[in-house]
Amino acid sequence: MDLVRPTAQHLASYLSALQRISTKDDPFFKMYERELAEIAQDSASFLASMDDLEAKRPPIELPNGSIIPRLPSITRWMWDGDVCGSTQLRWLPGTTDLPPYCLGHISYAVFPWKRQRGYASTALALLLPSARDLGMDFVEVVADVENLTSQKVILRNGGSLVEEFTKPVLSGGGQAFRYRILLETA
Protein backbone atom coordinates (compact mmCIF):
# COMPACT_ATOMS: atom_id res chain seq x y z
CA MET A 1 0.00 0.00 0.00
CA ASP A 2 1.23 3.46 -0.87
CA LEU A 3 -0.09 6.99 -0.47
CA VAL A 4 -0.91 8.73 -3.73
CA ARG A 5 -1.75 12.27 -4.64
CA PRO A 6 -5.26 11.78 -6.07
CA THR A 7 -5.32 11.99 -9.87
CA ALA A 8 -7.78 11.16 -12.64
CA GLN A 9 -6.20 7.71 -12.81
CA HIS A 10 -7.44 6.91 -9.29
CA LEU A 11 -10.86 8.53 -9.58
CA ALA A 12 -12.94 5.61 -10.89
CA SER A 13 -11.78 3.44 -8.01
CA TYR A 14 -12.55 6.20 -5.46
CA LEU A 15 -16.01 6.80 -6.93
CA SER A 16 -16.92 3.13 -6.86
CA ALA A 17 -15.77 2.92 -3.21
CA LEU A 18 -17.85 5.97 -2.25
CA GLN A 19 -20.90 4.58 -3.98
CA ARG A 20 -20.43 1.33 -2.07
CA ILE A 21 -20.07 3.07 1.30
CA SER A 22 -22.58 5.89 1.02
CA THR A 23 -25.31 4.81 3.39
CA LYS A 24 -26.90 7.04 5.98
CA ASP A 25 -25.50 4.76 8.73
CA ASP A 26 -21.89 5.52 7.86
CA PRO A 27 -20.34 8.27 10.05
CA PHE A 28 -18.67 9.75 6.96
CA PHE A 29 -21.87 9.77 4.90
CA LYS A 30 -22.14 13.57 4.78
CA MET A 31 -18.50 13.99 3.78
CA TYR A 32 -18.74 11.36 1.04
CA GLU A 33 -22.00 12.84 -0.21
CA ARG A 34 -20.38 16.27 -0.45
CA GLU A 35 -17.35 14.83 -2.24
CA LEU A 36 -19.57 13.00 -4.75
CA ALA A 37 -21.28 16.34 -5.49
CA GLU A 38 -17.92 18.12 -5.90
CA ILE A 39 -16.66 15.39 -8.26
CA ALA A 40 -19.86 15.47 -10.31
CA GLN A 41 -19.60 19.25 -10.64
CA ASP A 42 -15.93 19.46 -11.60
CA SER A 43 -13.69 16.46 -11.04
CA ALA A 44 -10.51 18.30 -12.13
CA SER A 45 -11.07 21.02 -9.52
CA PHE A 46 -11.86 18.40 -6.91
CA LEU A 47 -8.60 16.58 -7.63
CA ALA A 48 -6.62 19.84 -7.63
CA SER A 49 -8.12 20.70 -4.24
CA MET A 50 -6.48 17.65 -2.66
CA ASP A 51 -3.51 20.00 -2.27
CA ASP A 52 -5.46 22.83 -0.65
CA LEU A 53 -2.56 24.92 0.55
CA GLU A 54 -4.62 28.11 0.67
CA ALA A 55 -7.76 26.58 2.20
CA LYS A 56 -9.92 27.31 -0.82
CA ARG A 57 -12.16 24.22 -0.57
CA PRO A 58 -15.74 24.78 0.60
CA PRO A 59 -16.14 25.08 4.39
CA ILE A 60 -16.81 21.93 6.40
CA GLU A 61 -20.29 21.01 7.60
CA LEU A 62 -20.09 19.21 10.94
CA PRO A 63 -22.49 16.42 11.94
CA ASN A 64 -24.61 18.95 13.93
CA GLY A 65 -24.96 21.19 10.87
CA SER A 66 -22.43 23.84 12.00
CA ILE A 67 -20.20 25.29 9.32
CA ILE A 68 -16.51 25.73 10.12
CA PRO A 69 -13.75 27.27 8.01
CA ARG A 70 -11.16 25.08 6.29
CA LEU A 71 -7.53 25.03 7.26
CA PRO A 72 -4.85 24.50 4.62
CA SER A 73 -4.62 20.76 4.00
CA ILE A 74 -3.28 17.98 1.86
CA THR A 75 -5.28 14.84 1.27
CA ARG A 76 -3.78 11.58 0.08
CA TRP A 77 -5.47 8.34 -0.91
CA MET A 78 -4.30 4.93 0.19
CA TRP A 79 -3.72 2.86 -2.93
CA ASP A 80 -3.12 -0.87 -3.33
CA GLY A 81 -4.33 -1.05 -6.93
CA ASP A 82 -7.63 0.33 -5.63
CA VAL A 83 -8.31 3.28 -3.36
CA CYS A 84 -8.47 1.88 0.20
CA GLY A 85 -9.13 5.05 2.20
CA SER A 86 -7.79 8.53 2.72
CA THR A 87 -5.68 10.53 5.10
CA GLN A 88 -5.41 14.27 5.59
CA LEU A 89 -2.88 16.65 7.08
CA ARG A 90 -4.15 20.12 8.03
CA TRP A 91 -2.41 22.96 9.78
CA LEU A 92 -2.38 26.64 10.58
CA PRO A 93 0.54 28.31 8.79
CA GLY A 94 3.58 28.99 10.95
CA THR A 95 2.34 27.23 14.09
CA THR A 96 1.52 23.81 15.51
CA ASP A 97 -1.54 25.31 17.25
CA LEU A 98 -4.94 24.22 15.99
CA PRO A 99 -8.38 25.75 16.47
CA PRO A 100 -10.43 23.79 19.05
CA TYR A 101 -12.82 22.41 16.41
CA CYS A 102 -9.96 20.79 14.48
CA LEU A 103 -9.30 17.42 16.09
CA GLY A 104 -5.64 16.81 15.30
CA HIS A 105 -3.28 17.59 12.44
CA ILE A 106 -3.82 14.19 10.81
CA SER A 107 -6.94 12.12 10.28
CA TYR A 108 -7.41 8.87 8.40
CA ALA A 109 -10.18 6.51 7.39
CA VAL A 110 -9.90 3.11 5.74
CA PHE A 111 -12.87 1.66 3.84
CA PRO A 112 -14.41 -1.14 5.93
CA TRP A 113 -13.46 -3.87 3.43
CA LYS A 114 -9.77 -2.79 3.51
CA ARG A 115 -9.26 -2.72 7.29
CA GLN A 116 -7.01 -4.90 9.46
CA ARG A 117 -4.17 -4.96 6.95
CA GLY A 118 -1.95 -2.32 8.53
CA TYR A 119 -3.03 0.32 6.00
CA ALA A 120 -3.88 3.10 8.49
CA SER A 121 -0.63 2.50 10.37
CA THR A 122 1.37 2.68 7.14
CA ALA A 123 -0.54 5.73 5.90
CA LEU A 124 0.17 7.68 9.08
CA ALA A 125 3.86 6.78 8.86
CA LEU A 126 3.99 7.89 5.22
CA LEU A 127 2.30 11.25 5.89
CA LEU A 128 4.53 12.33 8.78
CA PRO A 129 7.40 13.55 6.53
CA SER A 130 4.99 16.01 4.87
CA ALA A 131 4.34 17.59 8.28
CA ARG A 132 8.06 17.75 8.95
CA ASP A 133 8.58 19.39 5.53
CA LEU A 134 6.15 22.13 6.62
CA GLY A 135 8.47 22.88 9.54
CA MET A 136 6.38 21.21 12.24
CA ASP A 137 8.29 19.51 15.03
CA PHE A 138 5.30 17.48 16.15
CA VAL A 139 1.80 16.57 15.09
CA GLU A 140 -1.23 15.97 17.25
CA VAL A 141 -3.51 13.05 16.48
CA VAL A 142 -6.81 12.50 18.27
CA ALA A 143 -8.66 9.23 18.88
CA ASP A 144 -11.97 8.72 20.66
CA VAL A 145 -11.55 6.82 23.94
CA GLU A 146 -13.54 3.92 22.53
CA ASN A 147 -11.56 3.82 19.25
CA LEU A 148 -8.93 1.30 20.37
CA THR A 149 -7.84 0.55 16.82
CA SER A 150 -7.03 4.18 16.06
CA GLN A 151 -5.17 4.45 19.38
CA LYS A 152 -3.02 1.47 18.32
CA VAL A 153 -2.33 3.08 14.95
CA ILE A 154 -1.05 6.21 16.73
CA LEU A 155 1.00 4.30 19.31
CA ARG A 156 2.56 2.20 16.56
CA ASN A 157 3.76 5.47 15.02
CA GLY A 158 5.46 6.71 18.17
CA GLY A 159 2.56 8.71 19.59
CA SER A 160 2.63 9.63 23.26
CA LEU A 161 -0.47 10.50 25.22
CA VAL A 162 -0.87 14.20 26.03
CA GLU A 163 -4.30 14.23 27.64
CA GLU A 164 -7.82 12.97 27.72
CA PHE A 165 -10.22 15.79 26.86
CA THR A 166 -13.84 16.49 26.09
CA LYS A 167 -14.40 17.21 22.42
CA PRO A 168 -16.18 20.49 21.68
CA VAL A 169 -19.93 20.19 21.21
CA LEU A 170 -19.32 21.44 17.65
CA SER A 171 -17.35 18.24 16.99
CA GLY A 172 -19.98 16.00 18.53
CA GLY A 173 -18.76 16.03 22.16
CA GLY A 174 -17.57 12.91 23.97
CA GLN A 175 -14.20 11.96 25.40
CA ALA A 176 -11.05 11.60 23.32
CA PHE A 177 -7.32 11.13 23.75
CA ARG A 178 -4.88 13.64 22.32
CA TYR A 179 -1.51 12.20 21.27
CA ARG A 180 1.64 13.90 20.09
CA ILE A 181 4.07 12.39 17.58
CA LEU A 182 7.46 14.09 17.61
CA LEU A 183 9.01 14.63 14.18
CA GLU A 184 12.70 14.41 13.63
CA THR A 185 14.04 17.55 12.05
CA ALA A 186 16.24 17.03 8.99
Ligand X SMILES: CC(C)(COP(=O)(O)OP(=O)(O)OC[C@H]1O[C@@H](n2cnc3c(N)ncnc32)[C@H](O)[C@@H]1OP(=O)(O)O)[C@@H](O)C(=O)NCCC(=O)NCCS
Residues near ligand X, by CB under 6 A: 107-110, 115-121, 143, 147, 149-150, 152-153
Q: Which is nearer to ligand X, 50 or 176 (CB)?
A: 176
CB 37 within 8 A of CB 45: no
- CB closer to ligand X, 56 vs 99: 99
Smallest distance, ligand X to C-beta of residue 122, A: 7
Q: Which residue is nearest to ligand X (CB)?
A: 118
DSSP element (H, E) containing 160:
strand 160-166
Give the residue with the Cβ less far from ligand X, 96 or 147.
147
Q: How far apart are CA 115 and CA 117, in angstroms?
A: 6
Looking at the DSSP bridge assignments, the partners of residue 4 are 77
SS3 14: helix
Question: Which of 49, 171 has the CB closer to ligand X?
Answer: 171
Tell me how far, at minimum, the Cβ of 143 lies from ligand X, in Å. 6
CB 157 within 8 A of CB 123: no
Overall size of the chain counted in residues: 186
Nearer to ligand X, 80 or 133 (CB): 80
For 54, other C-beta atoms within 10 Å of its C-beta total 9
Radius of gyration of the chain (CA): 16
Q: How far is the CB of 153 from ligand X (least distance, A)?
A: 5
Please report how close the Cβ of residue 67 comes to ligand X at its closest, in angstroms: 21
Minimum CB distance to ligand X, residue 25 (Å): 13
